[in-house]
Structure 1
Amino acid sequence: MFDKRWVQKPEVKNIISLSWGSSRDGNSGSLLDKIADCHRALFKWKRGADCNSKMRLTRLKEQIDLEGSKRRPNKQRLKDLKWELAQAYRDEEIYWKERSKESWLRHGDRNTKYFHGSVQKKRARNNISALVNSNGAEQISEGSKGEIAVDYFRKLFTSSKPVHATELLTDMVPRVTENMNRELTKPVSRDEIRKAAFGIQSNKTPGADGMTGQFFESYWDNVGEQVIREVNGFFESGQLPHEWNFAQICLLPKKINPTRMTYLNP
């Protein structure tokens, strides 16, 4: 998942700019292709970069202790190390705030422990330890619980293919006037597309690729043109790329310790 802390790193913008502009076999590539290229490039960079703030905290504390224990410590180096340590603490707090999904707390001293506790509490509350299948048998393995969920949603979302569906609209009075229809079907502007993209919450991901709203907002100069082109392409052709319709379903319990799919909200 795109990490909000990366926005502060200038090398990330260069990585996105290069990977977004790269071509595939001479073709410009689709939006999803470019996002996948960015995903791979960022993953490769992350493996070699010092991105783990917890490890940075440990390393910087050791360096500060080592420098401070010298008979004649370098004051400038100590100052630089302490500034890096403060930045590492900020990065750690940003990371855990993003994981906790807490939005009401805006300012304050270090809240890393609070966010960490919030993550643990949510994990415990949302944990599904067992599910009962259609035969009434309780299943505890991850594979069996997954099969119960898939079977439930397959039945829920499969159409019954009614023959006379149009009869449902009988006697309904039209409410959309010709003027309203023209306004609704006019071409979508660039500003409307940009506003919609920027309307995604910074920690939300519109797709399964892990690229959050923060990614599109922070690097719109690089990615915006492709987004606008493909959204307009959909409105002109009426065809939605198959991959755009992929979704991840997160199950939220309606009650404590849910054991049936009906006790969960998708």
Structure 2
Amino acid sequence: MKGGSRPQTQMNSFRDVVDECGLRDLPYEGHEFAFDNGQAVEDNRQCRLDRAMVSRTWTDRFPYAKLIHLDREWSDHAPIKVILHRRSSSGSDAPKRFRFEQIWVGQDGCEDAVIRGWGQQDSDLLECINQCARELQKWKGVNIGKILRDLRKKRERLRRLNEGGRSSREVQERRKVVKEIAELMKQEETFWRQRSRAMWLKDGDKNTSFFHRRATQRKEKNHIAKIVTDDGQIKTTNTEIAACVVDYFKGLFKSSRPVGYSQLLVGIEGRVTEEMNAGLREHYRVEEILEALNQMHPLKAPGIDGMNGLFYQTYWHIIGPAVV
């Protein structure tokens, strides 16, 4: 149901203001309509009068903000409440998943970490991958955080140089600092591009703020705050939500072990010949594996081990013999 309409001129002016200020509607939770006139049947009017409009700058400052429609009591209007920060779920003690980052490639020490982690060629493959991830995590903690710290320091130095004199030494230093900032910004942009998954837009065009915004939106979109089970129970902790997801897919992919289905196949002509079947049953060749690997998108979603296609493509000369 909906409420009465307003003059079109008023709505046009309102839309112009919203467009001019670059505002958008803040996502909400709760009942759809925040206004109810309390009448019955055909006289009842419900609509969403009360909203929270925010700008892009405000959203960047509070990326997890959301609007809550509280329960309406004595008033025609339901109170609304803005939550600025995501409330952490109880039981959220799971370690952060490892993911191989594009920005690591080419950095000093990264390949050495892969070599140390990969270990002996006759080691178990899964253990090699896990040990490699641990070595990369240790290397990352020492080296990658330094990029953002250096960027802040360089920008502060540039600000002081801009406010200072214009001697030959200061001009040369400023040129050097600007060049160093550009290189650090390129690395920062690569970092946020991978997280944004906006693969259609290439890095290197000063798109860091766009990639950062997309990554934040994607993280918020993928966040699961609660799950309602088939029997109506609400699960909110990470442990409970994970258990519900596992149980769902176990049931989805579990066979009911039907019997007597062979009669359904009578009269169906086979399409796979013996020759085709023999080819399908052959062992994979190293060349085929490498060809398939090089056809993979390097930055698409990694497996459960956190290693994406880029890792295997870049360090195949180290890990290839153990993989095949």
How would you bin the TM-score normalised by the shorter chain?
Answer: 0.7 to 0.9
Cα separation, 1, equivalents of 2:142 and 2:216: 29
2:270 aligned residue: 174
| Structure 1 residues 169 and 93, CA gap change in structure 2 (3 angstroms) | same
Secondary structure in structure 2 of the residue aligned to 1:47: helix
1:187 aligned residue: 283
Deviation at 1:222, TM superposition (A): 1.0
One-letter code aligned to 1:171: G
One-letter code aligned to 1:113: S
2:102 aligned residue: 4
Cα separation, 2, equivalents of 1:121 and 1:196: 32
2:133 aligned residue: 39
Identity of aligned residues (%): 31
Alignment partner of 1:117 is 2:213: yes
Cα separation, 1, equivalents of 2:194 and 2:221: 18
Secondary structure in structure 1 of the residue aligned to 2:109: helix
1:153 aligned residue: 249
1:63 aligned residue: 157
| Structure 1 residues 211 and 158, CA gap change in structure 2 (3 angstroms) | same
Secondary structure in structure 1 of the residue aligned to 2:105: helix
Q: Which moved more, 1:137-146 or 1:109-118?
A: 137-146
Secondary structure in structure 2 of the residue aligned to 1:48: helix
RMSD of equivalent CA atoms: 2.5
* Pairing of 1:71-90 with structure 2 (within 5 A): 73=169, 76-90=172-186
1:261 aligned residue: none
Is the Cα contact below 8 Å between 1:198 and 1:216 reproduced in 2? no
Alignment partner of 1:227 is 2:323: yes
Deviation at 1:50, TM superposition (A): 4.2
Cα separation, 2, equivalents of 1:204 and 1:93: 17
One-letter code aligned to 1:183: G
Is the Cα contact below 8 Å between 2:293 and 2:313 reproduced in 1? yes
Cα separation, 2, equivalents of 1:187 and 1:50: 41
| Structure 1 residues 169 and 220, CA gap change in structure 2 (3 angstroms) | same
| Structure 1 residues 140 and 15, CA gap change in structure 2 (3 angstroms) | closer
Is the Cα contact below 8 Å between 2:226 and 2:236 reproduced in 1? yes
Secondary structure in structure 2 of the residue aligned to 1:106: coil
Cα separation, 1, equivalents of 2:107 and 2:322: 23
1:16 aligned residue: 114
Aligned length: 224
Deviation at 1:67, TM superposition (A): 5.6
Cα separation, 2, equivalents of 1:187 and 1:148: 38
- Larger relative contact order (Cα-Cα within 8 Å, sequence gap ≥ 6): 1
Cα separation, 2, equivalents of 1:87 and 1:5: 12
Cα separation, 2, equivalents of 1:167 and 1:64: 79
Cα separation, 1, equivalents of 2:302 and 2:260: 35
| Structure 1 residues 207 and 121, CA gap change in structure 2 (3 angstroms) | closer
Cα separation, 2, equivalents of 1:140 and 1:30: 37
Larger radius of gyration: 2
TM-score, with structure 1 as normaliser: 0.73
| Structure 1 residues 124 and 49, CA gap change in structure 2 (3 angstroms) | closer
Offset from partner CA, 1:29-70 (integer Å, 9 cap, x none): 022222222112111111221445432211221233456666
Is the Cα contact below 8 Å between 2:109 and 2:139 reproduced in 1? no
Greater helix share, structure number: 1
Is the Cα contact below 8 Å between 1:93 and 1:111 reproduced in 2? yes
Greater strand share, structure number: 2
Is the Cα contact below 8 Å between 1:50 and 1:56 reproduced in 2? no
Is the Cα contact below 8 Å between 2:122 and 2:322 reproduced in 1? no
Q: Which runs of 5+ in 1 are unaligned?
A: 229-266
One-letter code aligned to 1:58: R
| Structure 1 residues 80 and 8, CA gap change in structure 2 (3 angstroms) | farther
Q: Which moved more, 1:216-225 or 1:50-59?
A: 50-59
Secondary structure in structure 2 of the residue aligned to 1:17: helix
One-letter code aligned to 1:91: Q
Deviation at 1:86, TM superposition (A): 0.8
* Pairing of 1:211-250 with structure 2 (within 5 A): 211-228=307-324
